[in-house]
Amino acid sequence: MEVPGQALPVLQQSISVQKQPGKTGVLIVNLGTPDSPSVPDVRKYLREFLMDGRVIDIPVVSRTFLVNGIIAPFRAPKSAKVYGEVWTANGSPLKYYGEVVERELQKALGDDYVVKLAMRYQNPSIDAGLSAFQQLGLTEIIVIPFFPQYASASTGSVYEKVMEIVGKWQVIPQIRFTNRFSDHPKFIEGFVRLGRKYLAQEDYDHVLFSYHGLPERQILKGDVTGKVCKLGDCCDSLHAMNQYCYRAQCFDTTRRLVKELGIPEGKYTTCFQSRLGKNPWIQPYTDDVIPQLAKKGVKSVLAFSPAFVADCLETIIEVGVEYKELFEKHGGEHWQLVESLNDSPIWIETLVDLVKRTA
């Protein structure tokens, strides 16, 4: 019998939550590297990399002729020499740091996770990593491409390769992807800490943020509306309609770093490196910006490469050596490369957060 003004007793029921039966696989994926700096291995790497239709997005017949008939035969010897300059006793820096991160991330995540390193091109392959996962009875797989900003040619290519492989499995576990992480607070803090180290040592005239470039056509193809992307001040903010625009994400990364580092307007530049071929790539070009800075009287530059999480040929040689020489050729005096996150503790913390946030 209900008594007016008196609440009914609440029935307490014990609910037991059963743990998922299997572990979670974490596939961390970087771009790739040749197996050695020899010309045959570099040529093999270039062929696999550049034959990806998301990297060189032209018809396959034209792409095959360009890659196998021109780029791989003639560029491989030159590239092999450059790879030889970055190669260490531990091998490729990009692969070495990946292996360290694989071990450290495994330690940080514990026994409920299985971490595997893979490269989009060459070894260890995505196929090998996923095949190892397939044998373990995993409940889910989390894929984290090591590209802070999304691009079809990088993150999109990893997605496509993973889905191509698991699409042939009889049993497909739950699969989750990390799309981009250039706005993750710990990713930003990692580069901020590195930058502060150098800014405490010298008052640099200018700070350069150099990102890997892409052909303009790839950016425009990503705007399915055909109305948003203008390859200009449309990148001054990141919003729902341009959130996957690589150029807009890069400018957003710069704004976040500049804010945390306290760099005033007029003392920094966002630009893009590594262009290939005669077709227009996203601008401004780093190798155009550098002479302009020197001609304006800039004598010292602190250079970031926030599109890379591990030092590699593009950071060590292109930004660290070639751009330094270009700057000095035009009157500059001090060029300092800020290293990548590599195997730093805050990079491991970032990855743990990405895994746990995705899980």
Is residue 354 a contact partner of residue 178, using CB atoms and an 8 Å limit? Answer: yes
Question: Of 44, 107, 42, nearest to 78 (Cα)?
Answer: 42
Distance, in Å, from the CA atom of 236 to the CA atom of 240, rounded to the nearest integer, reads 13
Enter the tokens of residue 233: 């001040």
Strands 140-145 and 206-212 turn out to be unpaired
- Please answer whether residues 282 and 272 qualify as being in contact, where contact means their C-beta atoms are separated by less than 8 angstroms: yes
Q: Which of 58, 193, 234, 48 is nearest to 125 (CA)?
A: 48
Burial class from Cβ neighbours inside 10 Å (0-12, 13-18, 19+) for residue 36 reads: middle
Q: Binding site, residues?
A: 212, 314
* φ, ψ at 223 (rounded to 5°): -90, 90
What's the rounded Cα separation, in Å, for the pair 150 and 222?
A: 11
Please give the annotated binding residues for Fe(2+), written as ranges: 212, 314
CA–CA separation, 29 vs 150, rounded Å? Answer: 13
What value, to the nearest 5°, has the Cα angle with vertex 257 and ends 252 and 258?
Answer: 95
Determine the Cα–Cα distance for residues 301 and 323; give it in Å rounded to an integer: 11
